[in-house]
Amino acid sequence: MGRRLYVGNIPFAAGEDQLRELFAQVGSIESVHVVTDRATGRPRGFAFIEMVSDEDASKAISELDQTEFQGRQLAVNEARPKAPRPIDSGF
């Protein structure tokens, strides 16, 4: 299992500090990154959290997946590697 987690269905008002506080309850956190829209800078409703160990990541998934956070039900699972994008030919 990887230490990098995908966290979906995050309330748009939630920031990195609130997510760090929530995930710190189940393990040690290395980094938190809330994904934002490039054009508007607004949060897109998901984040990536890297835990210090695989054990902390497993615990975070088992304890926080499908739990309510600020009125929304979180989806917490292992982050998959980014899929390669097709090359844009410019046409």
The whole-model pTM stands at 0.85
Q: Could you tell me if 75 and 8 are in contact, meaning their C-beta atoms sit under 8 angstroms apart?
A: yes
Which of 55, 38, 46 lies closest to 9 in space, CA to CA? Answer: 46
Angle at which helices 16-24 and 54-64 cross, to 10°: 100
Question: Over its length of 91 residues, how does the chain's per-residue pLDDT go in tens digits?
Answer: 569 999 999 999 999 999 999 999 999 999 999 999 999 989 999 999 999 999 999 999 999 999 999 999 999 999 988 778 777 766 6
Q: Could you tell me if 80 and 61 are in contact, meaning their C-beta atoms sit under 8 angstroms apart?
A: no
